[in-house]
């Protein structure tokens, strides 16, 4: 009998997480985990990177019946096996969506953020790891593009995002491809849960993933995701530069008075529309803390600067923007 040779499987390329320098593996960190492939992969990758005090946070959205219950049970078993803290709550997202008159997707996101905020307050841990990957980023950019977004929307999902609540959302896998995640899980034989809703054509994001992106790959005879990610990176860079110019204008002496009114100066009138639109957005959203300030409101506010512009426009929440004697304010 001839010599028996051992066959070695090809090595799976290492996945490099993009972690901010401030993320100390020795410190506690919240991990939002659904039990699906992406969040389970991030869990194991973080453990391999030396994170020993992960707190697993799972919210049962109540949208898939027994499947959702089984997801929560899987996460609880996984946390126990790894010796990690685990927090699980349930929320009737469908009822929240109906009550708030928003989409199920929006209601689910708001419920998750509220849950994570409660966990941050409970443990006094304000960093949350999320498992969005490169395909998620590409799908988000395409979705925003089809909504008529500007540069901020073309930038897609931010690798690090600070919410008004104080939560810092960190997404270490935004440059990691789905095929890399699959290969990692397979090579390590890590188990995870399959979400049946991920294949449903009822959800636009699924159609982008399973229909639109493959079609674009076929039309251009190439993998388009890297180009979409490049677009997002360039848009984020340009949007940041314009945002900095707007902030510099607003923080300059004499632009905004103590009563929060904005002075209509020659400098304001001379600003490029790309900058002045951001000036109004930041002024209304942050100085006046107004919700619902979207593109149409900003456009209307900018039109007030014209010689024949309106002296008063309506704002969300039964508020009004007024202009008189080279001064603008909210009432």
CA distance 105 to 62: 13
Residues 37 and 186 grouped into a single domain: yes
The single residue listed with the structure tokens 């860079």 is: 237
Residues 287 and 179 grouped into a single domain: no
Residues 95 and 188 grouped into a single domain: yes
Residues 181 and 270 grouped into a single domain: no
The residue range of the domain holding 317 is 252-330
Residues 52 and 187 grouped into a single domain: yes
Residues 188 and 304 grouped into a single domain: no
The single residue listed with the structure tokens 């593996």 is: 25
Residues 267 and 181 grouped into a single domain: no
Q: Provide the total of helices (H) and of strands (E) in the chain, helices listed first.
A: 13, 10
The single residue listed with the structure tokens 């609540």 is: 165
Number of domains in the chain: 2
Q: Is residue 190 part of a domain?
A: yes
CATH code at position 325: 1.20.59
Q: Is residue 264 part of a domain?
A: yes
CA distance 313 to 304: 8
3 state DSSP class of 85: strand
Q: What is the pLDDT at residue 12?
A: 63
CA distance 331 to 94: 36
Q: Is residue 272 part of a domain?
A: yes
Mean pLDDT per 10-residue section of the chain, whose length is 331 residues: 44 83 94 98 97 97 92 98 98 93 91 97 98 97 95 96 94 96 96 90 90 96 97 97 97 92 96 97 96 94 96 95 96 95
The single residue listed with the structure tokens 């390329």 is: 13
The DSSP bridge partners found for residue 32 are: 57
3 state DSSP class of 104: helix
Residue 243's contacts (CB-CB under 8 Å, 6 or more residues apart) are 278, 282
Q: Is residue 216 part of a domain?
A: no
pTM: 0.89
CA distance 323 to 161: 34
Q: Is residue 157 part of a domain?
A: no
Q: Is residue 39 part of a domain?
A: yes
Residues 179 and 301 grouped into a single domain: no
Q: Is residue 308 part of a domain?
A: yes
CA distance 220 to 115: 42
Residues 180 and 299 grouped into a single domain: no
321, 328 in Cβ contact below 8 A?
A: yes
Query: How is residue 165 written in tokens?
Result: 């609540």
Residues 119 and 191 grouped into a single domain: yes
Q: What is the pLDDT at residue 5?
A: 42
Residue 260's contacts (CB-CB under 8 Å, 6 or more residues apart) are 287, 288, 329, 330
Q: Is residue 20 part of a domain?
A: no
Residues 78 and 187 grouped into a single domain: yes
Is 120 exposed, middle or buried, given 0-12, 13-18 or 19+ CB atoms closer than 10 A? buried
Q: What is the pLDDT at residue 8?
A: 47
CATH code at position 37: 3.40.50.620
Residues 262 and 117 grouped into a single domain: no
């Amino acid at each position: 009998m001839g010599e028996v040779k051992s066959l070695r499987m090809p090595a799976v390329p290492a996945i490099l997480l993009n972690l901010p320098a401030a993320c100390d593996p020795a410190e506690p960190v919240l991990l939002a985990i659904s039990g699906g492939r992406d969040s389970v992969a991030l869990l194991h990758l973080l453990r391999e990177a030396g994170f020993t005090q992960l707190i697993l946070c799972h919210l049962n959205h109540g949208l898939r019946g027994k499947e959702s219950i089984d997801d929560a049970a899987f996460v609880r078993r996984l946390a126990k096996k790894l010796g990690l803290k685990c927090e699980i709550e349930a929320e009737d997202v469908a009822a929240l969506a109906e009550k708030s008159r928003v989409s199920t997707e929006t209601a689910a996101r708001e419920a998750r953020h509220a849950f994570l905020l409660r966990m941050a307050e409970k443990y006094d841990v304000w960093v949350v790891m999320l498992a969005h990957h490169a395909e998620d980023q590409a799908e988000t950019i395409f979705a925003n593009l089809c909504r008529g977004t500007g540069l901020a929307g073309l930038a897609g999902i931010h690798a690090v995002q600070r919410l008004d609540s104080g939560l810092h959302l960190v997404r270490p896998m935004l440059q990691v491809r789905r095929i890399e995640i699959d290969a990692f899980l397979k090579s390590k034989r890590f188990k995870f849960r399959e979400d049946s809703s991920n294949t449903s054509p009822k959800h636009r994001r699924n159609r982008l993933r399973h229909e639109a992106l493959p079609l674009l790959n076929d039309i251009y005879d190439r993998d388009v995701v890297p180009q979409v990610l490049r677009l997002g990176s360039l848009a984020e860079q340009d949007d940041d530069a314009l945002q900095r110019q707007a902030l510099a204008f607003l923080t300059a002496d004499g632009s905004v008075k103590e009563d929060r009114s904005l002075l209509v100066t020659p400098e304001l009138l001379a600003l490029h529309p790309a900058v002045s639109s951001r000036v109004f957005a930041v002024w209304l959203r942050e100085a006046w803390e107004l919700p619902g300030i979207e593109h149409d409101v900003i456009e209307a506010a900018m039109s007030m600067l014209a010689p024949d512009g309106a002296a008063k426009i309506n704002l969300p929440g039964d508020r009004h923007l007024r202009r008189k004697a080279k001064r603008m304010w909210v009432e």
